[in-house]
Amino acid sequence: MDAGCPRLPDTVLFEIFLYLDHADVLSVGLVCQQWRAVARDEFLWKELFYRYYRVSRDVPRHPGAVSWYDEFQRLYDTIPCVEVQALKEHNDQVLHLSFSHSGCLFASCSKDCTVKIWSNELDISLQHSSNMRPYNWSYTQFSQFNSDDSLLLVSGVFVGPHNSSSGEIAVISMENFTLLSRVRNKPYDVFGCWLNETNLISGNLHRIGRITSCSVLWLNNAFQGIESENVNVVKRLFKIQNLNASTIRTVMVADCSRYDSPDLLLDYEEQLAASSTCPVFDLGSDSEEEEAKPKPAAEPAVQELPAAGGVPAERGLQQLFDDIMGGRVGPAMTDTELETKVAELFVRNRTKPPEPNLLPTDSSSKTKYLIFTTGCLTYSPHQIGIKRILPHQMTTAGPVLGEERRSDEFFDSLDHVIDIHGHIIGMGLSPDHRYLYVNSRAWPRDCVISDPMQPPPIAEEIDLHVFDLKTMKEVKRALRAHRAYTPNEECFFIFLDVSRDFVASGAEDRHGYIWDRHYNICLAKLQHDNVVNSVAFSPVEQELLLTASDDTTIKVWRSPRAVRVRQARRPRPRKLLFSWLMNQKS
């Protein structure tokens, strides 16, 4: 036994370790021979793990873990929570970050109206900066690399005639950083996204009434200024009616072909069924604030369509007008209620029905999902719309306005709708595209919306929901820890990101947050001096995380393990000094 280390009962030793810091727990074996004797005791580490991290005991150990000791060490040693660099080249709020698929580059967007491209080497360095003010942009807000990292999509706010603001998307070549094309994007918070290597999705908005509009989603070729005049460079994808001042925003694309080979599984029963063939995960409940069992997730709301035998729209409209003129509509309808009613009747027999059998059954299917925020009750985004994109729709070839439409298929219906019952402020896909993570601020329970221009108050707590896109169901309980304070009319998007093991998000409380996807627990808070708008994991190294803030900085975070490895690779100052002295003598 080591000198100065008295013999203690294992139970007492265990209680002492419960109050030690992670590093002390993992390194105490260097000091105490007694601890080395029990350092691999699985029962001891299991108890330590559950009590230290406050994980519910019905959550099993990570299936890929060899032992409880290794799991404890993983949650301490591989979380990117050590600040290693602060990038200060932006001179205004930094709004968004995105990595290339190779992890070699990343882009940042800012209120200073530049998009900057960075090289991710031993020390991150600025490679290029594009100023978008010459194109009448107010600021850049979002970026995304295409699948082969040859092109960068940049979305921003465009100042039009009479100082009206809309959105615009620019495509930049990564070969020489030249601007290839620009596409209008309305409203600007559609953001835009890539559908495949050379085609991107943008939006347009047409007002029909005071609170009724139509969103059109367009497929655009990235090389619009280069393609021949005989080749289509744009095609209409979908045309969707909006009610009660809602619009389509925040579009993204999920690849259905990857669902049957996920990086992890979050459903426990599905995990058990697959545990004999592949390493999988379980998303357990977090018992930090409450010990109650998680409530069963509500079934996502599916858009209901009127029966085929319903009253035709024309007769329904005529009946409504006759009832109004005859005083048979009571109580009296407001202008807003009347407009919504007329729009609903008009669209009833003018909408193409949803695609049958939305859920993918063939793992080799080339089908993709278009995912976006929308609503039906008020202007604040409170629903997630999902629309299947079929293989023949993934090219701009064919009629410019898309396939021919009959008069009874003027609008496209949504294939699936998920009701969040709150203001959606962020969305992100898992790397395997199986799970959709959604940041939202909840409405009061049982609230009633009587005026679409006055949505309910929203909570300061941010809920991070998880939805399985294969089953279209919510997976267990929402993650919590982060907060936001702005009211409905000032609420802004907070970008989140998902890696194989972790999920991270910004917040208005001047911190970024990291959770473990398997245990459903918050692992780290990352300090900034102002709102954290965006986070991004390296797609090839989840122990590297970037955070962007209103304090104009981008911070680089690495795990304790990665820091040790990188420090070991660096030449030691003493050796450099010794070499310099020897050279001076010679």
Q: Is the distance from CB of 345 to CB of 238 less than 8 angstroms?
A: no
Q: Is the distance from CB of 374 to CB of 246 less than 8 angstroms?
A: yes
443 plus 553 within the same structural domain: yes
The residue written with tokens 């047409």 in the block is 206
Please, is 391 exposed, middle or buried when counting C-beta atoms within 10 Å of its C-beta (0-12, 13-18, 19+)?
exposed
The residue written with tokens 């979305």 in the block is 155
**What pLDDT, on a 0 to 100 scale, did the predictor assign at position 487?**
81
Domain end, chosen from 78, 103, 137, is at 78
Domain end, chosen from 61, 78, 95, is at 78
Query: Is 529 domain-assigned?
Result: yes
Q: What is the DSSP letter of 309?
A: T
20 plus 114 within the same structural domain: no
pLDDT in tens, 312-357: 545 555 565 556 555 555 556 676 766 676 666 666 666 777 766 6
93 plus 48 within the same structural domain: no
Q: Give the model's confidence band at 367: pLDDT under 50 very low, under 70 low, under 90 confident, else very high.
A: confident
Question: How far is it, in rounded angstroms, from Cα 35 to Cα 27?
Answer: 10
- Domain encompassing residue 62: 10-78
Q: Give the model's confidence band at 277: pLDDT under 50 very low, under 70 low, under 90 confident, else very high.
A: very low
Residue 435 pairs in a beta bridge with 468
Question: How far is it, in rounded angstroms, from Cα 29 to Cα 498?
Answer: 34
Residue 218 has pLDDT above 70, yes or no: yes
What residue spans of 349-456 are helical by DSSP H?
A: none
Q: Integer distance in angstroms from the first to the last C-alpha of the chain?
A: 52
Query: Is 274 domain-assigned?
Result: no
Residue 420 has pLDDT above 80, yes or no: yes
Query: Is 578 domain-assigned?
Result: no
36 plus 121 within the same structural domain: no
What is the amino acid identity at position 569? R
Q: Give the model's confidence band at 300: pLDDT under 50 very low, under 70 low, under 90 confident, else very high.
A: very low
Residue 194 pairs in a beta bridge with 200
Query: Is 286 domain-assigned?
Result: no
Instruction: Please compute the mean of the pLDDT values over residues 420-432 and round it to a whole number.
Output: 95
Give the C-alpha distances (Å, rounded to integers) separating 434 from 360, 429, 465, 504, 562: 11, 7, 14, 17, 28
pLDDT in tens, 20-53: 544 455 554 444 555 555 556 788 788 888 888 8
How many domains does the chain contain in total? 2
The 10 Å Cβ neighbour count of residue 87 is 19
Q: In this structure, what CATH number is given to the domain that contains residue 465?
A: 2.130.10.10
44 plus 123 within the same structural domain: no
pLDDT in tens, 485-540: 888 777 789 999 999 999 999 999 999 999 999 898 999 999 999 999 999 999 99
Residue 380 has pLDDT above 60, yes or no: yes
pLDDT in tens, 568-579: 776 655 555 555
Q: In this structure, what CATH number is given to the domain that contains residue 63?
A: 1.20.1280
Q: What is the largest CA-CA distance in the chain?
A: 108
Query: Is 145 domain-assigned?
Result: yes
**What pLDDT, on a 0 to 100 scale, did the predictor assign at position 355?**
66
Q: What percent of the chain has pLDDT over 70?
A: 69
Query: Is 331 domain-assigned?
Result: no
389 plus 533 within the same structural domain: yes
20 plus 129 within the same structural domain: no
242 plus 174 within the same structural domain: yes
**What pLDDT, on a 0 to 100 scale, did the predictor assign at position 270?**
62
For 64-85, letters b (16+ CB in 10 Å) and e give ebeebbebbbbbbbbbbbbebe
Instruction: Indicate the length of the chain as a whole number.
Output: 586
